[in-house]
Amino acid sequence: MGKSAKDIKDVTNRTHEACIRIIDKQLKPMDNFADRDHCVQYMVATMFVFDRLEASDYTDSSEAAQSELVESLRRRIKCVEDPQFTADYHDPEKRTIANALTVILNDGTTIEEEVVEAPLGHRLRRDEAKPEILAKYKRHLGPHFDQSRVDELVELGNNAEKLYATKIDEYVDLYVKDKA
């Protein structure tokens, strides 16, 4: 549509009761990492503005925490409970963490609601999450180790028999950088 986060008038997050009780902080101040980490509006606004949500986005000095657009948009994201989402959240067979976003743009256009019943990493989406987790693992190792060490750690992690045969102290030592 050629639109950006600047074009969003407001957002409704249809969600479950626990989300509203624990992390619905639309109008509360975001004074620190923990405030941002426990605010669904901050998470959604950061995704809309930067197309990402990483641990570094929660720090006080981060681009997201300093963004006037994130803060403005965060205050325009409201949560409403969906009783079925709440029931599914408490159902031991499902334990889904459903959220559904409806976005209204400044020009009055309503973008079709997007429903996610289970986030990436939930047991219902574990296989889908594995490539993302591996990519994140490699991304976090990369700045600390050369490619051969990254490859060694990935290979070991993908070989259950070899991994389980490795003594824990030897495994942990693989993450120690040589002092130069």
| pLDDT tens-place string over residues 120-177 | 889 999 999 999 999 999 999 999 999 999 999 999 999 999 999 999 999 999 999 8
Alpha carbon distances (Å) from 152 to 2, 11, 59, 149, 175: 43, 45, 32, 5, 11
CB–CB of 83/89 below 8 Å? no
Tokens of 167: 């003594």
Angle at CA of residue 37, ends 79 and 102, nearest 5°: 25
Spatial separation of the C-alpha atoms in residues 65 and 55, rounded to whole Å: 12
Domain map of the chain by residue range? 5-119, 124-173
Mean pLDDT for the chain?
95
pLDDT at 45 (0 to 100): 98
State mean pLDDT over 89-100: 96
Judge if pTM exceeds 0.75: yes
CATH architecture of the domain 5-119 equals: 2-Layer Sandwich (3.30)
> Is the confidence at residue 178, as pLDDT, over 90?
no
**What is the per-residue pLDDT across 104-121, written as a single tens digit (0 to 9) for each?**
999 999 999 999 999 888
